[in-house]
Amino acid sequence: MQLAPTPNRSRIVGLRFTPQEYAVIERKWKATTCRKLSEYLRKFLFNKTVTTNYRNESLDEVMHEIIKLKNKLHAIGNNFNQKVKKLHTLNQIPEFKSWIIASELDRKILFNKMDEIKKSIQKISEKWLQ
């Protein structure tokens, strides 16, 4: 599929703006999907559709909580894998008994973290459903 050639743009229009005016134009342009300011201005001037990027800032806190939960789950998974690897390297029964005692503490930490994650998800759900 061959695209139609772009017409040669040979006319230049110079405009001067105050720093405040330019800041407004720049802010509006950067909120769009236009890659160049000239593209944005051309679309705006000729009443063409300007696609804007909409960012729902109310989701920032939700995303922050989800990232924290992901990191916690990752840490839990790493700890679990380390314990299993250690279990496979144990050769003597006394080592195995000490591992079981230590793993009980890890289990309590794991369950506490899981409860914390459940509470965070509950908060997120309640906020999301409002």
pLDDT tens by residue, 11-53: 888 889 999 999 998 988 888 888 889 888 888 888 888 777 6
Total structural domains within the chain: 2
pLDDT on residue 18: 94
Confidence at 1, pLDDT banded by 50, 70, 90: low
Q: Is residue 69 located within the same domain as residue 121? A: yes
Read off the pTM: 0.39
Cα–Cα dist 53/33, whole Å = 7
Q: Is residue 14 located within the same domain as residue 68? A: no
Residue-wise pLDDT for 52-75, tens only, equals 766 566 667 777 777 788 888 778
Q: Is residue 81 located within the same domain as residue 37? A: no
Q: Is residue 61 located within the same domain as residue 50? A: no
Q: Is residue 5 located within the same domain as residue 41? A: yes
Q: With DSSP H G I counted as helix, E B as strand and the rest as coil, what are the percentages for the chain, rounded to 5?
A: 70, 0, 30
